[in-house]
Structure 1
Amino acid sequence: MKVRHVAIAALLGSACMAQAGGIDRSGQSILALFENGRYAEFSLGAVSPDTSGTAVAALGGFGSGDMTSSFVQLGAAYKADINDRLSYALIYDQPFGADVDYPTGTGYFAGGATAELKSHALTGLLRYKFQNNFSVHGGIRVQSIEAAANVPFVDGYSVNGSRDIGVGYLAGVAYERPDIALRVALTYNSGIEHDVATTENSGTFGTTTSTTQIETPQSVNLDFQTGIAQDTLLFGGIRWAEWSEFDISPANYATLTGGASLVSYADDVLTYTLGVGRRLNDNWAVSASVGYEKSNGGFASNLGPTDGFKSLALAAVYTQDNMKITTGIRYINIGDAQTTLNGVTAASNFQDNHAIAIGVKVGYTF
């Protein structure tokens, strides 16, 4: 079966990973490494979540109001061939993030609580092609994170973590059959350790400084695509991330709460994507994809009250000469979650929440 190339990117970076497990945002995609020739791309995504819950009766039964802020995701990549077997890529993304802002004046116990986490990563990759359609790739990722939170319902607590830079690595293998547009790529991303200079404020301890160790999770990405008919492509991916090992526990916050973490997750997370792309003519292609992440149950953090999701994404690609422009929209049904204050009983219920993500990616081959 001969399959003409279908230029479907499905906008798998930028907006589409938002609301995935933990604080995953970009999915750490390296797919630009597999583009033909010399290639550059830039992506921009905007995500608008609507997340609200209701306190249990014992805490007043008040509604939280929308506690998640809209945010923008940026990404960029450059790929080039060194020779017919060796190529390289530089990829910029914002792999992890959080924007929490509980409105005040609602009567909700967490009113006024805020949290923000920002990250930036630059990844350098090399790829070597063998003669049997296999290739290997690997490289180094330099990542920065910074975070701040205000948790007034815990002794008037607030914390600020200064920007810290850490280094990790990634390695993988791929198999390709260009005649049927087949590609399967497996990539391991190491965890990255950060020693964050932390300033804490609380009614009990006043202002103190310390160092908080944070390690962003190791993960594995499996990406695939294959032609299934003339001008039709099946694509998808599976991402595993070890969120069960992720923990942010500034020293005083742990003491004030009897050993609780500011942010932590009980389970690892598997995120699935499956879609179909169709080339309509020489200029236009379209795709539709679904995403799924199961709800694990148990209690969620008050600074991240979600548990799994289901999503539907639609994308269109316009190709003209050496340029292709991908636009997409994604609807995310955010999984219901319960939060807790004592680790034993529920404090609130978050239900029927959602997010809408839109994005555009411009790629140019030269």
Structure 2
Amino acid sequence: MKTIMTSAIALAVGAGAAHAGGIERSNNDYGFLFTRNDQVQLSFSHVMPELSGTYTADLTALGGGESSTGNMQNNYTNYSFAYKNDLNEKFTLGMYVNNPYGAGSEYTQGVYAGLTADWDSDQVALVGKYRVTDRVSVFAGARYVESNAEITIPDLLVRSAVGRNAQGLGAQAQALGAEAQALGAQAQAAGAAGDLATAQALGAQAQSLGAQAQALGAQAQGLGAAAQDFGTSMEYNASGSRVGDWGAILGVAYEIPDIALRVALSWQSEITHNFRTSETIDGLGINTTSGETKVTMPQSVALDFQSGIAPGTLLFGQIKWVEWSKWEVRTPEYENVTGGNVTGFESDSVTWKLGVGRAFTEDLSGFVQVTYEAQNGDTASRLSPRDGFTSFGVGGQYKMDNMTLRGGIEYVWLGDAEDASGVKFEDNTALGVGLSLTVDF
């Protein structure tokens, strides 16, 4: 029974979440290290989101009367490989190959038409588990993640961002100019009173602030003029060349095998990518390939648990925290002309999962599970415009000699969200399906 119930957990994890926090697409299932026998597992998942938004009246007018963004999220497919080998009674070695992060946004209707973003990644992780006692195990390892990204932001969105930045810079220039004038007046007063040292110091400060105000004013004027020049394109294109970096994995688990109880706490460190970045905005004369963009792939902590609750029945679940608030794409040239980042997330995510696995026969078992991520009310990223989600998944497995075939389906209700322009993304869903084949040897 323990083998069947452990397999139900593997099925639940391997079915493929139709959506998760941030841009996460797959996980390393460290419960795989606790399965019996040496194993190879091949998995496949396919996700079909239906994610669209409704423009405000002003944006609808700018977009030629189109009131909907259309479905902006592309379908995607993940493939993964896992290998486990019990080197002896104490030590187990595991390897994972998968696509941990990804994004595929493509707006085709209205004012956002032409806004596209792609993030691709591949991961290889090696993990060793050591059985300290019959009930306590520790595991640790390293993961290597390679990523690359591309984004296109259409003319009107860039133009409006540049215009807002020009206004902000102009306001800063005015404030600095006023401060410089006040210091100048103080310097004159000190000079008239015979305090030449103070007058000289205040005059130097006034001169410095005046120079800063003049520079900001010139920048604001140039950006403002460019934003009003509709004879040139302000479309923004950027790409980050493929880069790979390392992260750490640590975990500890407690088991009571007789009742199929296991509680495991795992941590994955953050990974920092430094992308060599190419950026172009023709209307501003920007065409550079020498930029560098630092992007932090967030750390995570997961608590997994399972326990037998009746003969042939297993309760399982997970609580996972991911520090998505540290993830943002802030390219140098785009920040210089707009004053902001390309995209990012404001808050961390906490995802809850609870399910039940049931063995119907020695060869056939299945599961149901519910996953929940609360809404946080943040301004939505146009890369992933939803706020939390609730999903329901079902699946089953069939064992044939030394092979086990698993399959599952998950339906997701995506949380309503609103982006910085007031576009509302409501009543959206996603559907995910997964298959896996495990071979014992």
Query: Normalized against structure 1, the TM-score is what?
Result: 0.94
Instruction: After superposition, give the CA deviation of every residue in 1:261-301 in whole Å (9 maximum; x if it has no partner).
Output: 21211111001110001100111101100000001112111
Q: Give the equivalent residue in structure 1 for 2:94.
A: 89
Contact 2:41–2:436, Cα closer than 8 Å, also in 1: yes
What does residue 325 of structure 1 align with?
405
For the Cα contact (< 8 Å) 1:17–1:24, is it kept in 2?
Answer: no
**What's the offset of the Cα at 1:4?**
7.5
Secondary structure of the 1:300 match is coil
The structural deviation recorded for 1:28 is 3.3
Deviations 1:298-338 (A, max 9, x none): 21112221110000000101012221111000001111110
Cα contact 1:326–1:360 (8 A) shared by 2: yes
For residues 144-163 of structure 1, what are the structure 2 equivalents within 5 Å? 144-152=146-154, 153-154=157-158, 155-163=234-242
Matched with 1:226 is 307
Q: Is the 8 A contact 1:283 1:318 kept in 2?
A: yes
Please state whether the residue corresponding to 2:362 is helix, strand or coil: coil
* Paired residue type of 1:99: G
Letter in 2 for 1:220: V
Note if 1:49 corresponds to 2:130.
no
Match of 2:334 in 1: 253
Q: Distance in 2 between matches of 1:200 and 1:29?
A: 37
Contact 1:9–1:326 (8 Å) recurs in 2: no
Query: How far apart, in 1, do the equivalents of 2:9 and 2:114 lie?
Result: 40
2:323 corresponds in structure 1 to 242
CA contact 2:304–2:319 (8 Å) conserved in 1: yes
Q: How does 1:343-362 map to 2 (within 5 A)?
A: 346=422, 348-362=423-437
Q: CA deviation at 1:130?
A: 1.5
Structure with more strand by fraction = 1
Runs of 4 or more, structure 1, over 6 Å off, are none
Quick one: which of 359, 367, 370 aligns to 1:279?
359
Q: Which residue in the other structure is 1:27 paired with?
A: 27
Q: What letter corresponds to residue 431 of structure 2 in structure 1?
A: I
Aligned counterparts of 2:35 and 2:44: Cα–Cα separation in 1: 19
Partner amino acid, structure 2, of 1:95? P
Question: Which of the pair is proportionally richer in helix?
Answer: 2
1:357 match: secondary structure:
strand
Q: Is the 8 A contact 1:14 1:73 kept in 2?
A: no
CA distance in 2, matches of 1:306, 1:15: 22
Separation in 2, partners of 1:55, 1:224: 43
Structure 2 residue corresponding to 1:99, chosen from 101, 104, 107: 104
Find the structure with the greater CA-based Rg. Answer: 2
What are the ranges of 5 or more consecutive residues in structure 1 without an aligned counterpart? none
RMSD, matched Cα: 1.5
Residue of structure 2 equivalent to 1:204: 284
The equivalent position to 1:165 in structure 2, one of 244, 262, 278, is 244
Residue equivalent to 1:141: 143
SS at match of 2:433: strand
For 2:18 and 2:330, the matched residues in 1 are separated by 24
2:288 paired with 1:213: no
1:76 aligns with 2:81: yes
Partner Cα distance (2:33, 2:342) in 1: 37
Asked if 2 retains the 8 angstrom alpha-carbon contact of 1:190 and 1:218, the reply is: yes
Match of 2:383 among 299, 303, 308: 303
* One-letter amino acid matched to 1:121: Q
- TM-superposed deviation, 1:12: 4.3
Q: Could you tell me the TM-score, scaled by structure 2's length? A: 0.78
Contact 1:116–1:147 (8 Å) recurs in 2: yes
Residue in 1 aligned with 2:211? none
In 2, distance between residues paired with 1:12 and 1:241?
A: 20
Counterpart code for 1:354: T
- The letter of the residue matching 1:36 is R
Amino acid in structure 2 at the alignment position of 1:198: T
Structure 1: distance between partners of 2:359 and 2:14: 23
How far apart are residue 157 of structure 1 and its match?
0.4
TM superposition shift of 1:222? 1.2
* Alpha-carbon distance in structure 1 between the residues aligned to 2:404 and 2:116: 39
Q: 1:12 to 1:118 in 2, by over 3 A?
A: farther
SS at match of 2:27: coil
1:286–1:14: structure 2 CA closer, same or farther, 3 Å change rule?
closer
What secondary structure is seen at the aligned counterpart in 1 of 2:84?
A: strand
Contact 2:28-2:96 within 8 A present in 1 as well: no
2:342 corresponds to which letter in structure 1?
L
Deviation at 1:132, TM superposition (A): 4.4
Deviation at 1:34, TM superposition (A): 1.4
Tell me, yes or no, if structure 1 residue 179 matches structure 2 residue 254.
no
In structure 2, the CA distance between the partners of 1:315 and 1:247, relative to structure 1 (3 Å rule), is: same
* Alignment partner of 1:266 is 2:266: no
Percent identity, aligned pairs only, is 37
Paired residues of 1:205 and 1:252 also in contact (CA < 8 A): no
Q: Report how many residues are paired.
A: 356
Aligned to 1:113: 115
Deviation at 1:45, TM superposition (A): 0.3
Q: Given the superposition, is the C-alpha separation of residues 12 and 264 from structure 1 closer, same or farther in structure 2, using an over 3 Å criterion?
A: farther
